[in-house]
Structure 1
């Protein structure tokens, strides 16, 4: 919810506000459920641990204060709470759940909790599907007592970290949002430019529905998001308890916004905000109010990521043989590049706009026990006269010396592809592979379609 849901004004559709408070009810689940057939789990946290302890620091970063350092105030959304690392606001309950609890002190000040994954590389494998899922009970409060409550389970594009002003181009997937204790889940996509653009910012492209069987507040429900590169056009889908209620396709928002939004991995967030643009817009006045009660927790049983199909890793998992074609857009992390959609003549996607200092990262690439001696990449360039650069391969750290490289200049156009080989020093074993781009000029000088290695 940084600049992400900034100044959003949305109306609740078909939502009845219930004045009575239901008793707290939850059902813990011992562990993350086994994946459906065809899915591979790449990350999970089931929040097992001692009561009144913080969530795992290996998995989560705890956000504190009223903003990211140097970012927009009030997290860009107008929310009023102060996020803390106190176990009063954020803790395991000892029964397999995470509790995020907004609390109002005697002076009327609100505190709450917000966490985000250490990992920021969640994305589908090339040609495959990423699935992000959480089993969550929203704060069990409704009616006037719930005014201002804003629980959320969502994901942000990795380039937001350290920048904080590049939203919405880097993408935001709101997997589950709710405000004011209404029995409804909202799923929303943010992308492109603000205001307006292909995602109708600052509102985003969203849909909502009531939770099945029991209200969102009175019981756990499973909220799922899928990013699907196995279909054409590519698609995003939102589910509650396995029932799809929203989708957005690549053709709806156009290749430019889609490519920019999908050029990077994502990190996952969980939080309960108080007040701000969304709850205020739905209520029609400022929230929280004097009627809003303190201390109602969002409970999170698990959060997990799975992938299905495709090649070249994905979902942060990476992996694969160095001797297969590694699609450039299947990177696990990157800096400075974008994913482009090739013309109908060639089809597929590529990584483009590479300039000096940019890089791609591919995790867990297996070279085997017999040394690789050659590197080949399919590249294209429409760079101007005198503009060229090096495509380099480094192992395990971007600060290590290249094990091989080749020079490339104008090939006749940005989709005039050439497969260029280069010798490398012998490599065995499994490594993180970095493709780095070095040039004496600041201009973009190369696009890259795929890479592979040979003996």
Structure 2
């Protein structure tokens, strides 16, 4: 089969001039038996044990009764043809209407999720698109995250697959509720396929559109042509590993355990990478119909053939040690303790990253810091009257049960803290608030260390700025 043209994004609205097929043109359309199409050759798999060094963060094995809805504590349904206020046709020119009907999205009673695109007698298509409730999937500082699923693609090829576009992917958490900030927030396509090709595509989208450092709307992608059994005839395992334990940071794509693509942080500028990755992600499964990449369906396109999903799992390692980094923001010091000290500009730091902040005044921040992060600010001048308060401007999208301490230390990263405050979720990684804490009285000039301590490996805080008071 001829390789399709470079893919457009899931977010970009394309000018696709298409008309609905008439009912008369559909009279002779091929309609497949759902039972035959859904009969896999192998028994369903349980969620696999974590790979060596990983822990299971989240999963779904789809063990509900035949015809049942998804677990609403884990998943939400996208409905209609766009996000509220977002680009029409889901930004890609696809023509289906997404529903929460069990005709389109259901558990099959045999341990699988089915997402089934259906054409009605008038030629209109419906299908399904579901997202994880959680938006905090990301590796800890110095660690790895793995997003994985076992999937059998809709079992049709050739003319009967024209316009069918299944996908398993993830979007940056800042997208949810905004819906207009693609591609800067990052999109990780773990698996995409079009028109029944025996080929898998994996892509990172970032930067600006069109063009930009990430070549949008195509993105930074790779693909692999598969052998037998094909992607449509059997279940295959698709995964992305996001590795913060290497320098430069890297994303790696796998199919059936074989790596076929990678993107490293140094392929784009630091701001683009930070904006695309310094936050959590949520996972999406969908089957689109039509659009700028696969083209439109025809009267021969098969209706009622589902994508089957055996499991979805997210794994993570514990945090590791990242290299100490020196930044130009505070090399000589001489900072007024009672002014606004920008957290993203320390003289030296470790296990922290910077990214954009939508707080008042905008700018950058230390983003999604976890246990073991630290930053040093040189020669902070407290004067002769003792400072007794510390205020941090923070945000957190940490999951329930994840929290930690922001600690203030003087002149040594291992000195006894002079004060600290606890932080848990503020409602989102861009939901900012000022948190005060009392500190032991401080006078004179000191190097100030902020250290971040938590009993969990997950990130728990972003810090935009801090200041001291009397």
Q: TM-score range by the shorter chain?
A: 0.7 to 0.9
How far 1:211 sits from its partner (Å)?
A: 2.7
Judged with a 3 Å threshold, the aligned counterparts in structure 2 of structure 1 residues 97 and 127 are, in CA distance, closer, same or farther, namely same
Offset from partner CA, 1:278-333 (integer Å, 9 cap, x none)? 102xxxxxx11111110010000000000124259xxxxxxxxxxxx9955599xx
Judged with a 3 Å threshold, the aligned counterparts in structure 2 of structure 1 residues 420 and 36 are, in CA distance, closer, same or farther, namely closer
Question: Which position in structure 2 is the counterpart of 1:74?
Answer: 89
Question: Which position in structure 1 is the counterpart of 2:190?
Answer: 175
Judged with a 3 Å threshold, the aligned counterparts in structure 2 of structure 1 residues 258 and 275 are, in CA distance, closer, same or farther, namely same
Give the one of 292, 297, 300 matched to 2:306: 297
Give the one of 436, 441, 449 matched to 1:419: 449
**Who wins on radius of gyration, i.e. which is larger?**
2
Question: Which position in structure 2 is the counterpart of 1:151?
Answer: 166
**Secondary structure in 2 matching 1:310:** coil
Question: Which position in structure 1 is the counterpart of 2:268?
Answer: 253
Judged with a 3 Å threshold, the aligned counterparts in structure 2 of structure 1 residues 67 and 39 are, in CA distance, closer, same or farther, namely same
Give the one of 219, 222, 227 matched to 1:207: 222
**Secondary structure in 2 matching 1:48:** coil
Give the one of 320, 343, 360 matched to 2:396: 360
Distance 2:459 2:292 in 1: 43
Distance 2:87 2:375 in 1: 33
Q: Are residues 1:229 and 2:261 paired?
A: no
Give the one of 391, 399, 404 matched to 2:437: 404
**Secondary structure in 1 matching 2:89:** helix
Question: Which position in structure 2 is the counterpart of 1:96?
Answer: 111
Question: Which position in structure 1 is the counterpart of 2:277?
Answer: 262
Distance 1:212 1:271 in 2: 24
TM-score by length of 1: 0.72
How far 1:67 sits from its partner (Å)?
A: 0.6
**Secondary structure in 1 matching 2:319:** strand
Large movers: runs of 4+ above 3 Å: 5-9, 21-25, 325-331, 334-341, 348-351, 355-358, 360-367, 391-403, 432-437, 444-447
Give the one of 264, 280, 288 matched to 2:297: 288
Question: Which position in structure 2 is the counterpart of 1:319?
Answer: none
**Structure 2 residues not aligned, in runs of 5+:** 1-7, 17-29, 322-348, 368-372, 377-390, 412-418, 428-432, 440-444
Question: Which position in structure 1 is the counterpart of 2:155?
Answer: 140
**Count of matched residue positions in the alignment of Structure 1 and Structure 2:** 375
Question: Which position in structure 2 is the counterpart of 1:376?
Answer: 408
How far 1:398 sits from its partner (Å)?
A: 3.6
TM-score by length of 2: 0.70
Distance 1:397 1:179 in 2: 39
Judged with a 3 Å threshold, the aligned counterparts in structure 2 of structure 1 residues 128 and 378 are, in CA distance, closer, same or farther, namely farther
Distance 1:266 1:366 in 2: 19
Is the CA contact 1:155–1:266 (under 8 Å) kept in the aligned structure 2? yes
